[in-house]
Structure 1
Amino acid sequence: MSYRVFISLFVLLISSAATAQGTAPAISYTRDIQPIFTEKCVACHACYDAACQLNLGSGEGAARGANKIPVYAGERSKASEPTRLFYDAFGKAAWQRKDFYSVLDAQGSQAALMARMLELGHRTPLQPNAKLPEDIVLGLERENMCPMPGEFEAYAGAHPKEGMPLAVTGLTDQQYQTLQRWLASGAPIDQQGLVPSARETLQVVQWENLLNAPGARESLVARWLFEHWFLAHIYFKDGEPGHFFQWVRSRTPTGQPIDLINSRRPNDDPGTQVYYRLWPVQGVIVHKTHITYPLSPAKMARIKTLFYNGNWQVHALPGYGPERRANPFETFQAIPAQARYQFMLDNAEYFVRTFIRGPVCRGQIATDVIRDNFWAFFQAPEHDVYITDPSYRGKATPLLAMPGQNDDVGSVLSLWYAYRDKRNEYEALRRDTYANVPAPSWSSLWAGNDNALLSIFRHFDSASVTKGLIGEVPQTMWLFDFPLLERTYYQLAVNFDVFGNVSHQAQTRLYFDLIRNGAEQNFLRLMPADSRDGYLDDWYQSGGKFKMWLDYESIDNDKPTALKLDEKDPKRDFAQQLLIRYGDLNARPDPINRCEGAYCSRPNIDPALQNAEQALSRLTSRPAAGLKVIDQLPEATMLRIESRSGKREVYSLLRNRAHSNVAFLLGEASRYQSGLDTLTIYPGVLSSYPNFMFNIPAEHVPEFVAAMENAKDAQGFEKIVERWGIRRSHPQFWQYFHDLSRYIHETDPVEEGVLDMNRYENL
């Protein structure tokens, strides 16, 4: 049982006892209100895409209130003011100066806006486990209406079934009464910030001392480390469960209260002397922004070994500004490249998560540049010419600058062409240089730890990263070297401004297209020379061929590989050899999707669950042309399977959409190849945004699979939903939905967080 669940049950018991004695205990925000918000509200009201920017993961967010301006407005011509909770303002008055309005304050004789929204929802309950009325618009297509207190009556008249919680099983009577009593009493908030333990405080001081040590070398390394850690939810391996910390820049040193420097980007000019500080992450942990990173004495020793053992020198510290942001290879060129790359490889999953998974929360225009499923791995530092050859590094570094620093709308195309040409000049340099070094072999791939092999799954407007190789052999694979990994991280994480204007966001997206192409080109060098053009043609079908001619540098289709691969299908043979050679590093054996024989389930699990996995394997790796039900499925469906013994397993059922190419900014729907879509089924929660959920007794799984195989249309699929589906209106919806988080707690407690239900579909 997780800590949050324990607290919720404890509060319920205390409240029940008080009621039995005929007294109404004073309501505490921390004890009584936040647990309700966490259970029933945070799944929609968190991150930048919280409806109306109302973030209910903390007292600060509740008091801040709502705002009509959406964070995700990619067409805006001017960048908007950042509204990052716990960062860009503090306290109700400061937020109201940024156009937030209260949802907690009564308005004369009118109750608080939240009270009226909750009352509207409570008086219009949903029919249990029935499909919702079609006139209730859900998901990312829903208009951001955000009525102010004076506009509520008009909203309620136009949307009588759309109170809160929106279109989902609502509050219990007790929860409703508790919230209404609290709002009627003025909505007092007694929440205190998270306080580190004594042991954590000691480690905080040790790490702050490391990053704030005097000296030019120390200052440059600290700046680079901060820019690579600013998104991390830091935890100490012997710290308190649920305690996470975040690196920030402060005007004040260790031992004094943090005076936050709240710049737009972590590499903007701070305008003053900087101290790097760790402060506790406040509020409810939500999975979509929870990108974890461990700190320990071993990690500190590793950093000292990587960065301070050599005799390299810093003659002058670099400044700040657009040019420094655009090319971190020049900004940090004094730090040995091998140290920088090895540091990133040690926790490669973290870095790939920062730019593939979050913290954007919403981004179909960003994610449509990648395939729905692919594998990623990394070039070994000793085989990375940028690391090993100073002359090549000197030629390449000026070509590695990235766009997005100038957000002039009228300059988008000219900036794009300039950076595209510079990137292609680099690719030509890389191609010609690697043609004169030994051909790539298995030793060219980094195999330092279980971060070496990663699986990426795209779920339309979000994506996930997981250690290990999951699923059938994918259509494409990515090979990162240091210049590519660092550029991707800076372009999509450090330099990306979610509040930026259309020019900034378009430049970022267009360059990401070049990054993907670079990763594919790196991988193709591992394939036989005469197979490379064929693979490229497969990846860039239809209009993709024109895009190859227009924007991409030519590949090396002449120099051989040192890998011995089956000529008939070298990519598949490469994947199979990879799985064998690096089996000890593959954190995710996958017999369900890659069944090699009669047994398609994991050993050493409940026999009933083994039988379930065996049946589920019939649905994987089959194209939609032969498995029609795929056409009815959303991107990420969760299967909750429970045996009669009470053991349950959670599986992610992922729809992998096929595309003729992923080379264009717009028009994705025209590039679908739906008949080639497939399913991946894997134990675990592989998305922060479940689209639907089935609850299936283990003994029913063969029937479920048979029904899926036989469902040819929407009517056939609806029968499956009626029997096993957990619709938004299911009486136990929240119990099943939060069981996904409990499952994460049981299997990998550091990664636990409240999942997002903004994409939960009305099937």
Structure 2
Amino acid sequence: MAAVRRLPLIGVRSLALLALSLPLLGGCDDTAKAAPPPPASPVTFQNDVRPILETKCIACHGCYDAPCQLKLETAAGLDRGASTEPVYKQRTQAAAPSRLFIDATSTADWREKGFFSVIDSTEGLEASLLYRMLELGRAHEFTPGEPLPDDIQLGLKRENQCPTPERMDEYAEAHPLGGMPLGTPALTDQEFATLRAWLAAGAPPGSDEVQLSADEQRQIRAWETWLNRDGKRQQLVARWVFEHLFLAHLYFDDGSGRRPDHFFTLERSRTAPGKALVPVATPRPNDPPGGEFWYRLRPVKGTLVHKTHITYALSDAKRQRMETLFFAEPWTVSKLPGYGEDERANPFTTFAALPARARYQLMLDDAEYFVRTFIRGPVCRGQIATDVIRDHFWAVFQEPDRDLFITDPDYRAKAAPLLGLPGQEGKLIDLGPEWIRYTHRRNEYLRQRHDAYAVAQPDGPGWDSVWDGDGDNGNALLTIFRHHDNSSVRQGLIGDYPLTTWVMDYPLFERSYYNLVVNFDVFGSVSHQAQTRLYFDLIRNGAEQNTLRFLPAAARKGILDDWYQKTGKLKLLISYADADGETPTAIEYHSATPMNEFNAGLLSRFAGINARPDPINRCGDGDCVRETANALERRVETALAPLASRTAADLPVINWMPEASLLLVDGDGDSTVYSLLRNRAHSNVAFMFGESLRYQPEKDTLTIYPGVLLSYPNFMFQVTAADLPAFARAMQAARDEADFTALVERFGLRRTETDFWQRVQAPLRYMEQHEPIQAGILDLNRYGNF
């Protein structure tokens, strides 16, 4: 394991402000380095500075949870600087949003909002926070290949230190080992000299401007024309489309699978197409716009980071699909809905005039995108956000022709008023009453649903009630992984049979989206965020109840009791509507484990649309290698399949494995990346707090699958193809923490490795080769210290 200094996570909480509170580490060289000679030619931001930020800094400084709000994906973010106010925190009242390119338009505006510069060197280099932080990082070297001292705080629980320029001396004295990038090799001499020269020249600004091709401009005009048409029907459709695509990174799909030149966001603008876009800066996309606006497409600027890069394809065919679904059948709207609390809380009544089938079908067409928005979007961060769902589960969807909300107008009219969502009131005093009110409505809806389906489908649901992707759409079968630090969604059924599988109908799908995406305000109060996450507990329970309808009636209570062990029984008694224990199922079962039998049925009946067959984690006949695997992948899967899907009781190394790690493999003239995901087991997931009371570590399992199935790697292992058997043997032989430490010593990529920054680029290179449209920089804020 090589030796290097601490590379510049300039961003990686780098830049002066993110100095996340670090206690001093021992075992470091305290000898300051001499300043390297300046570059021979003038330094520019675009050609010289941006590449350093992309390779060493953005990995920690992107998205809402960038330390000290220092976002380095764009030149504008670097110019804006940092803030002492975190985005993710518990607030009694909502905070003013601080979104780049939306909530302020100039450096002066950001200064008024409390942001301070990290690059200003008008009074000399020592006045630049960026320079001082990087210099501090170069003043000390960690022992190469060794763990960082335990008192260095990393991950979600760290307390960021965000010193202003005036307090940098104080910070450096208190945290001499807290330079940037934090806890990794420092910038190289050449990189440091480049940034020093740029700062010494006054930090000449870079540009985030995007040059669009003629075809991109044509497609923008076509979409903006379609979205801004006159007529109440057209305006209502455009509002629905906007509220469902505002979070997306849109791209124009030419069918090639190549990475497009640019991605776009859909915005509400004060200005009409053809003029400079002026965003309607509301916290949420369905907040009152406060005047006239137009829907506009705006290019995404800067470097893409994986955690926020949730893509959606636009094309002429997609626009025609929307036109046909929404306008093929006659419907009218006498008055457009407003943007008041009731309209925001209930999309089913707000958009009641729109054909329900069109709404559901458009979400099904790109179900992976919509599920990603609420599994991987801003709402999903930390334990409170994730502890109300399982670590690993599958999701399928109810066939539109078997969904009463789609097929029965009378049922839809009765059900829609009960489907409102909490969280509009952000006052702490409203938390209890709001929760009780919406829980009552949701449970009344489930009772009505139970009765209506018992009448409409007396024989119960069969396989024809599960959407088959219209024969060729892989969005019909999804796998969700959620962990404390990570969450991901993929087409296909990955992993061993999960404990739960969700069958989502349209009301469940749309409520999940509005609850966790449209109506969620990352800057909102603790009351708003608690109501949002508490209601998702009800949505999860609703999806589980819908799945139970497909299982034998006599088995449902036992399965439900298994899902809600111990304290979960309390929720069954006081919060959830009773599950249907009487209506039969039209599916025949022949085993004592009907949930597994149902999952097996999904695999066999929908094999033609299963995007990711998985013999690695479901090895039944001894051949545990995917049919499409190349030579290197065959070696990896042959070696690692014996580790997959075993419990921690049987494979003790799982007890020390991080929740989401990557395995980098080199050999056979090729390289590849596999995800190693630890699935934590719980007696129930009915509560936001008290996980330790419900955690069942002996039942944890490990899912192994090719590709990058995470945004925040907790750790990386690196092996050669020749060492794969040795790695597998070490995993199988590990019995305690000392054995796991020995495994890391031999195969781990610790933060202090001299080639750390070179090796952590491997997952991005893999994505660029295998899934270029989805590729983005991974976040290293949660990379562990093992």
Stretches of structure 1 that go unaligned for 5 or more consecutive residues are 1-20
> How far does residue 360 in structure 1 lie from its aligned partner after superposition?
4.1
1:91-102 → structure 2 map (5 Å cutoff): 91-102=106-117
Matched letter for residue 665 of structure 1? M
The one of 27, 49, 52 equivalent to 2:43 is: 27
* Match of residue 619 from structure 1: 643
* Match of residue 403 from structure 2: 384
SS at match of 1:139: coil
Runs of 4+ in 1 over 6 A off after TM superposition: none
* Match of residue 352 from structure 2: 333
> How far does residue 283 in structure 1 lie from its aligned partner after superposition?
1.4
User: Could you tell me whether the CA contact under 8 Å between 2:422 and 2:435 is conserved in 1?
Assistant: yes
> How far does residue 25 in structure 1 lie from its aligned partner after superposition?
1.6
* Match of residue 730 from structure 2: 707
* Match of residue 741 from structure 1: 764
Give me the identity figure in percent.
Answer: 54
The one of 669, 694, 698 equivalent to 1:671 is: 694
Identify if the C-alpha distance between structure 1 residues 553 and 174 changes in structure 2 by more than 3 Å, giving closer, same or farther.
same
1:56-75 → structure 2 map (5 Å cutoff): 56-73=72-89, 75=90
SS at match of 1:320: coil
Identify if the C-alpha distance between structure 1 residues 417 and 717 changes in structure 2 by more than 3 Å, giving closer, same or farther.
same
* Match of residue 104 from structure 2: 89
User: Could you tell me whether the CA contact under 8 Å between 2:461 and 2:587 is conserved in 1?
Assistant: yes
Identify if the C-alpha distance between structure 1 residues 731 and 22 changes in structure 2 by more than 3 Å, giving closer, same or farther.
closer
* Match of residue 414 from structure 2: 395
> How far does residue 164 in structure 1 lie from its aligned partner after superposition?
0.5
- What is the TM-score normalised by the length of structure 1? 0.96
Matched letter for residue 465 of structure 1? V
Give yes or no for the alignment of 1:554 onto 2:570: no
Give yes or no for the alignment of 1:374 onto 2:393: yes
* Match of residue 370 from structure 2: 351
* Match of residue 560 from structure 2: 536
* Match of residue 294 from structure 1: 313
Between 744-753 and 109-118, report the one with greater CA deviation: 109-118
* Match of residue 530 from structure 2: 506
Could you give the per-residue CA deviations for residues 134-164 of structure 1, whole angstroms, max 9, x where no partner exists? 1211111111210111111111111111100
> How far does residue 108 in structure 1 lie from its aligned partner after superposition?
3.4
Q: Number of paired residues?
A: 741
> How far does residue 705 in structure 1 lie from its aligned partner after superposition?
1.1
Matched letter for residue 309 of structure 2? H
- What is the TM-score normalised by the length of structure 2? 0.93
Identify if the C-alpha distance between structure 1 residues 240 and 258 changes in structure 2 by more than 3 Å, giving closer, same or farther.
farther
* Match of residue 222 from structure 1: 238
- Find the aligned partners of 2:499 and 2:748 in 1 and give their Cα distance: 31
1:507-656 → structure 2 map (5 Å cutoff): 507-643=531-667, 645-656=668-679
Between 727-736 and 262-271, report the one with greater CA deviation: 727-736
Matched letter for residue 205 of structure 1? R
User: Could you tell me whether the CA contact under 8 Å between 2:74 and 2:301 is conserved in 1?
Assistant: yes
Across the aligned residues of Structure 1 and Structure 2, the Cα RMSD in angstroms comes to 1.4
Could you give the per-residue CA deviations for residues 64-109 of structure 1, whole angstroms, max 9, x where no partner exists? 0000011010x21011110111211122111111100001113735
- Find the aligned partners of 2:389 and 2:350 in 1 and give their Cα distance: 29
* Match of residue 151 from structure 1: 167
* Match of residue 128 from structure 2: 112
* Match of residue 464 from structure 2: 443
Matched letter for residue 719 of structure 1? A
User: Could you tell me whether the CA contact under 8 Å between 1:639 and 1:653 is conserved in 2?
Assistant: yes
* Match of residue 21 from structure 2: none
1:98-247 → structure 2 map (5 Å cutoff): 98-106=113-121, 108-109=123-124, 110-238=126-254, 241-247=260-266
* Match of residue 17 from structure 2: none
- Find the aligned partners of 1:260 and 1:512 in 2 and give their Cα distance: 30
- Find the aligned partners of 1:102 and 1:83 in 2 and give their Cα distance: 15
SS at match of 2:475: coil
Could you give the per-residue CA deviations for residues 415-436 of structure 1, whole angstroms, max 9, x where no partner exists? 1001000000000000111111
Could you give the per-residue CA deviations for residues 227-278 of structure 1, whole angstroms, max 9, x where no partner exists? 0000000000139734100000011111111121111100011111221000
- Find the aligned partners of 1:604 and 1:487 in 2 and give their Cα distance: 37
SS at match of 1:194: coil
Identify if the C-alpha distance between structure 1 residues 22 and 480 changes in structure 2 by more than 3 Å, giving closer, same or farther.
closer
- Find the aligned partners of 1:477 and 1:605 in 2 and give their Cα distance: 27
> How far does residue 220 in structure 1 lie from its aligned partner after superposition?
0.3
> How far does residue 704 in structure 1 lie from its aligned partner after superposition?
0.9
Give yes or no for the alignment of 1:418 onto 2:441: no
- Find the aligned partners of 1:740 and 1:516 in 2 and give their Cα distance: 32
- Find the aligned partners of 2:206 and 2:445 in 1 and give their Cα distance: 56
Give yes or no for the alignment of 1:758 onto 2:781: yes
User: Could you tell me whether the CA contact under 8 Å between 2:379 and 2:516 is conserved in 1?
Assistant: no
> How far does residue 192 in structure 1 lie from its aligned partner after superposition?
3.7
User: Could you tell me whether the CA contact under 8 Å between 2:494 and 2:612 is conserved in 1?
Assistant: yes
1:243-322 → structure 2 map (5 Å cutoff): 243-322=262-341
Matched letter for residue 674 of structure 2? Y
Between 601-610 and 562-571, report the one with greater CA deviation: 601-610
Give yes or no for the alignment of 1:462 onto 2:486: yes
User: Could you tell me whether the CA contact under 8 Å between 1:690 and 1:759 is conserved in 2?
Assistant: yes
Could you give the per-residue CA deviations for residues 518-562 of structure 1, whole angstroms, max 9, x where no partner exists? 000011100011111111001100010011101000010111100
Stretches of structure 2 that go unaligned for 5 or more consecutive residues are 1-36
Could you give the per-residue CA deviations for residues 32-90 of structure 1, whole angstroms, max 9, x where no partner exists? 111101110000000011010001111100000000011010x2101111011121112
